[in-house]
Amino acid sequence: MQLTQKHCIPCENGDPAITDENEELFHKQVPDWLLLRDGTHRIRRQFNLKTFTNAIAFVNKIAEVAEKEEHHPDIYIFYNKVQIDLFTHAVGGLSENDFILAAKIDEIVSKL
């Protein structure tokens, strides 16, 4: 099943992060995201929009999806640039939820 067809499942403190092998498998489905393993494992993607207003509108669309999935990214806005970092605080690294939300964000981008 494709990541965009899945839904995030709440993680509990103490649940394990996914393995490096699974990170690689999921990463293949969202290749535009940078896989970072410097301390906390996370994925990151940066977006360049035309204006500040476009950046805010984009972030609001991400917020709607994140709220529905109950999985919330770290979002940084630098005028017309948006950076999204995803990792699961409860597991101290990456979970499948991070890749699900990344795929859904990629869907938003494809419709811009």
In a domain, 52, yes or no: yes
38-80: pLDDT as tens digits: 888 999 999 999 999 999 999 999 999 999 999 999 999 999 9
In a domain, 74, yes or no: yes
In a domain, 61, yes or no: yes
pTM score: 0.95
Domain containing residue 44: CATH number: 3.30.1360.20
DSSP letter string over 45-104? EEEE-SSHHHHHHHHHHHHHHHHHHT---EEEEETTEEEEEE-BGGGTB--HHHHHHHHH
In a domain, 45, yes or no: yes
In a domain, 30, yes or no: no
Mean pLDDT of the chain: 95
Q: How confident is the model at residue 40, as a pLDDT?
A: 87
Domain of residue 64 covers 38-87+96-112
* Count of domains for the chain: 1
Tracing tokens 């498998």 back to the chain, one arrives at 25
